[in-house]
Amino acid sequence: MGEALLIGDPAPWFRQRCTTPHGDYTFDMSAGRYVVLYLYASSRDPLTVVALDAVRARRALFDDRQASFFGVSADTDDAGVLAAELPGIRHFLDADGAVGSAYGGSGRWYLLDPMLRVRGAAEDGPGIAERVLDTVAGLPRVEEAQGPAPVLLLDEVFEPEFCARLIAYLRASGTSASGMFTADSQGRTQAVLDTGFKRRRDCTITDAALAGQVQARLVRRVVPQIRRAFAFEATRMDRLLLAAYAAEERGAFGAHRDNTVPAAAHRRFAVSINLNEDFEGGELIFPEFGRTRYRPAAGGAAVFSCSLLHAVLPVTRGVRFACLPFVFDEAAVRQKSASVHPPVTIAG
Ligand SMILES: O=C(O)CCC(=O)C(=O)O
Ligand SMILES: [Fe+2]
């Protein structure tokens, strides 16, 4: 059994069976809100029966925006008994003990902050559930939490005429609905369409001359600033993509990380370059660091680590056009598995 976590420690990430419609849950997706994790031996233990009733009695605390509750059951018999109560209340079925051993065993409560760091920890006992719930009720709103996110903002990466050319290229080439990478049950990467999560139309830049012009601007204007801000030498890029988020479909992209499936694990920094300004909504947010909205001016970039949770808010007027490459380095190339976008050398 691993040791209990202390305040300030990062909570371990895992994927485990869960009472979700999907049947499992990738825990790092719960970031961006407060999380209560309650590890128990069995949902039928008298103390746990009382604790879970107390959670249900105050279920309004757990709306999946401000906070979520996750039980972790060590009892294999709980599989048929427990159900998710959405939003906000879920249970992991920890038959193999993977979660328990990472968190120091059953009979323990943790309160995690939106970065999934331990903010509070307690051994289970009479009255502890109420104490945890009172603490959750008194937490600051996630909107006020933390920040600023470690995002590098650069204006003037693309000139206005170049932005216009890219938008014209997208319009002339046409777009297709943008899918997402997920992992199947064997951990293989697959692309799926899920309009509840991502509503965007994409166009890959296949014109070699135009691709070269995008690259040249990244080399001159983005690579040196990544070196300065993040001490990282970007030598490669992939996904020369132009994207359109349209108000007519409430174009948006739910909270995700960019490097969590094998085909994308080599990606190090996302470069999000806005091509226009005549739209509303469509801002980037980084939920682990509060809800500050990031919106580069036309031609400006937001550069951020592919490990950060981020989302694009719905576009409510007009269309947001963006150019969305990823950059990485030679070490990442060596780790690279089958990416759908061949890498391009951008420096050296
Ligand atoms: O639209 C953006 O700025 C970000 C897009 C994004 O997160 C992605 O394509 O992975
Ligand atoms: Fe992303």
Q: Can you give the three-state secondary structure of 233-289, one letter per residue?
A: CCCEEECCEEEEEEHHHCCEEEEECCCCCHHHCCCCEEEEEECCCCEEECCEECHHH
Atom 3 of ligand 1: nearest residue by CA position: 272
C-beta separation of 320 from 274 below 8 A: yes
Q: Mind giving me the DSSP string for 80-97?
A: GT---BTTTEEEEE-TT-
Give 82-121 pLDDT, tens digit per residue. Answer: 998 999 999 999 999 999 999 999 999 999 999 999 999 9
Of 335, 260, 272, 317, which is closest to residue 298 (Cα–Cα)?
Answer: 272
CA of 325 from ligand 1 middle (Å) equals 9
Give 45-71 pLDDT, tens digit per residue. Answer: 999 999 999 999 999 999 999 999 999
pLDDT of the residue at 179:
85
Ligand 1 binding pocket mutation candidate from 253, 304, 313, 326 (most atoms within 8 A of CB):
253
Q: 324 CB less than 6 Å from ligand 1?
A: yes
CA of 108 from ligand 2 middle (Å) equals 34
Domain-by-domain residue ranges, the chain? 15-141, 152-345
Structure tokens at 87: 């939003």
Atom 4 of ligand 1: nearest residue by CA position: 272
Q: 312 CB less than 6 Å from ligand 1?
A: yes
CA of 254 from ligand 1 middle (Å) equals 10
Atom of ligand 1 nearest to the CA of 239: 9
Superfamily (CATH) of domain 152-345: q2cbj1_9rhob like domain (2.60.120.620)
Q: 310 CB less than 6 Å from ligand 1?
A: yes
pLDDT of the residue at 339:
55
ipTM here: 0.99
Q: 258 CB less than 6 Å from ligand 1?
A: yes
CATH topology (fold) of 15-141: Glutaredoxin (3.40.30)
Q: 239 CB less than 6 Å from ligand 1?
A: no
DSSP state of 2: P
- Which of the residues in the chain have pLDDT under 50? 338, 348
CA of 11 from ligand 2 middle (Å) equals 23
Of 208, 173, 214, which is closest to residue 299 (Cα–Cα)?
Answer: 214
Of 110, 158, 113, 194, which is closest to residue 271 (Cα–Cα)?
Answer: 158
Separation CA 197–CA 177 (nearest Å):
12
For 91, counting Cβ atoms within 10 Å of its Cβ (0-12 exposed, 13-18 middle, 19+ buried), the class is buried
Structure tokens at 211: 């691709």
CA of 105 from ligand 1 middle (Å) equals 38
Separation CA 235–CA 219 (nearest Å):
9
CA of 29 from ligand 2 middle (Å) equals 13
Separation CA 324–CA 307 (nearest Å):
16
Alpha-carbon separation of residue 221 from 155, 273, 279 (angstroms): 9, 12, 25
pLDDT of the residue at 4:
87
pLDDT of the residue at 338:
47
Q: 272 CB less than 6 Å from ligand 1?
A: yes
Q: 119 CB less than 6 Å from ligand 1?
A: no
Helix (H, G, I), strand (E, B) or coil at 334: helix
